[in-house]
Amino acid sequence: MSTHVDIRGFISGPSRQSLIAGLSNRFAIERDRWLLWLPVAMGCGIAIYFAWPADPGLVLPCSLVGVFAVAAVLLRGGARLGAVLVLAMAVGFAASAVRSAYVAAPVILEKKRPLTVQATVERVERYPAGDTRITLRALDLEGFEENATPERIRLRVRTRGEAVEPGNRIEIRAVLMPPPPPVAPGSFDFARKAWFERLGGVGFAVSGATVLAEQPTETGILDGWRLARFRDSLAQRLAKQAPGDGGAVAVALMTGERGLIPEKIVEDLRAAGLAHLLAISGLHIGLMAGLAFFVVRAGLALVPSLALRYPIKKWAAIAAICAAFFYLMVSGGTVPTQRAFAMTLIVLMAVLIDRLAITMRLVAMVAGAMLLLAPESLLNVSFQMSFAAVIALVAVYEHARSHGWLPGRGDGWTRRIGIYFLGVAITSVVAGLATGYFAVVHFNRFANYGLLANMLAVPVMGLWIMPWAMAAFLLLPFGLESWALVPMTAGIELVADIAAWVAAMPGSVGYIAAVPTAATVLITLGSVWLCLWQRAWRLWGMVPIMAGLAWAAASEPPDILIDEQAKLTGIRAADGSLMLNSVRRSSMAVDTWTRRSGQGGALKWAPDDLDGPLSCDASGCLYRAPSGQLAALVRAPDALGEDCARADVVVSAVPVFGRCKGPETVIDRFDLWREGAHALWFTASGVRIETVAQHQGRRPWSRYARRQPEF
């Protein structure tokens, strides 16, 4: 039976039956793509878990999996397909709950005075100014019971000549604090990230570190400390062999330690859209594996007796797997690197079994495995950007292959070379478009000349820098790595010059205000629809994409922002810019608020600007919103009486204790303590308020959940 669908008849058919039949036919034609939607459904379930207002526990998620698993078995036809999709969502929801419970570990609840810490060093990160950040585990904390001791803590240490290495058992005095919450509603949640890393506290040392033992003696403590020590010593060795800014980047590319890179280079790379070159991910793992594959296969091809009798292509694939695994280990094995290695491994395994290596099904398999093992990675910018780029590129590759646009065996070299360079340009454009939105969502900035910078810098990375990095690894056992590091750093300096040139162009960086989560969901689902289907109905994905973009464009930043301690306040000026009462009080909050407001720099308000929307005196400020409402920012108790009588909204840095009855909205010091930073929007219908506590939900990583009376 033919499954051909008359698109014109479908579009013009007025009946409900025609609509259902048209959808069913299109769905049936792409039967081989159904499986690709399972990881998408899992991702939706994970997103629902993290958007859930309270921790759901384990009973509800596991029950949902059981119910929909039974439904998937008992139902038939389209109902079964729907049950399978909902089951995948339930699996994502349950995997998130199980993962959160599995990583549960004690967290420091409040700031602690200097106390004595005995611990084993897990990781050492060095910085140019002489500071060192160390991650500690196997902790013995002064005044802490064993069941209240965190799994890990992270300290900032000012070195005084002493050196610590991974595996050392040390004693140090430090001030400890809980992992900090978001500084604004909807901003990056470090406390959530720390929860899944079992990082129960952060702080700074007030003394030098005393080494009690060179290496751990307890069985099973700090697995992998020898590898961590090797990486640390390798980073120091490379830094000595390749000094300077280029050497610092070389250390980052070979070991994953980015602390020594000067801030100027980092900012230039960000402004030029080249920051991804510093993060060891799919590009670097792929280049390392590809170089190993090419070198081994080319070398074996020079020996006719081997090339004609044995599967040298598969031998080269095995060598590439080994090279990628070595690079994974020596570069720190971060989650993005693990994800890139998994993708590379499956590609090379496909070569070993004579299957097509790069397919959308491969991407779906890796994404599903990653989401099942680490559901929290869905919220990570590296996961979103890497899979967005890969999915878009594979979709374009599939489309080009189906239309015969890729070079074939009978094509001449001229056409092959032309298609190659066209492919490089298209790859840069597609990857830039696919990842650009997520970069804007997370960093509120975009590189206007990123395509130009990538066209110039990525070939240098692939054809010069990474081959010399591989050569440096091969020369390490002989102490000759400097032979490779010198040309490698020369290439890095060229990339740095490209970044500086592009960053210096007028309008090189654009800024955009924070985007609503719902708009991001619409754009993401529309993009996935556009990439996963292959027929014309894929274009329907443009509808949610355009709706999401319109939503994002129509959104407005808050009119008032106030931090948890009521010390930092921001107000929306008449021209739409965010004005702060201080630009020095908290660099993290200032930078985040400014960035999420779509500004390139912080602006301090002028208290004596009586002609504007703001007027201040010693007791506080009055702010007139564009919609006409009056907000009082109270600093002293004696101003409450007058301000409460005339203001629509009162934000008080001091406790109110019920003394302010007139205003529509009253936020005092206790509200800020219980719910964290507040954002306020003034509309014609009233005041909309969002808090950090609302965005975090009643979760174990939220300090505000413990402060709610009904929790």
For 629, the token pair is 């409402």
Handedness of CA 140, 146, 151, 156 (dihedral sign): negative
The Cα 464–Cα 472 span in angstroms is 12
Helix (H, G, I), strand (E, B) or coil at 615: strand
Q: Per-residue pLDDT tens for 285-299?
A: 888 888 888 889 888
Per-residue model confidence as pLDDT tens digits over 366-410: 899 989 999 999 998 888 888 888 898 888 888 777 766 655 555
169 backbone dihedrals φ, ψ, rounded to 5°: -95, 120
Name the stretches of the chain with pLDDT < 70: 1-23, 129-130, 159-162, 217-223, 282, 356-357, 403-425, 585-586, 607-612, 709-711
pLDDT attached to residue 2:
42
String of DSSP letters for 141-198 = ETT--GGGS-SEEEEEEE-SS----TT-EEEEEEEEEPPP--SSTTS--HHHHHHHTT
Q: Which fold has domain 112-219?
A: OB fold (Dihydrolipoamide Acetyltransferase, E2P) (2.40.50)
Predicted local distance difference test score (pLDDT) of residue 454: 84
- CA–CA distance, 445 with 443 (Å, rounded to integer): 5
- Residue 11 pLDDT: 44
Give me 708's structure tokens: 């709610």
Phi, psi of 273 (to 5 degrees): 75, 25
Shortest CA distance to 703 belongs to which of 204, 191, 193?
Answer: 191
Number of H helices, E strands in the chain: 25, 19
The H or E element containing residue 683 is: strand 678-683
Q: How far apart are CA 40 and CA 360, in angstroms?
A: 13
Q: Taking Cα atoms as reference points, which of 448, 468, 458, 470 lies closest to residue 494?
A: 458
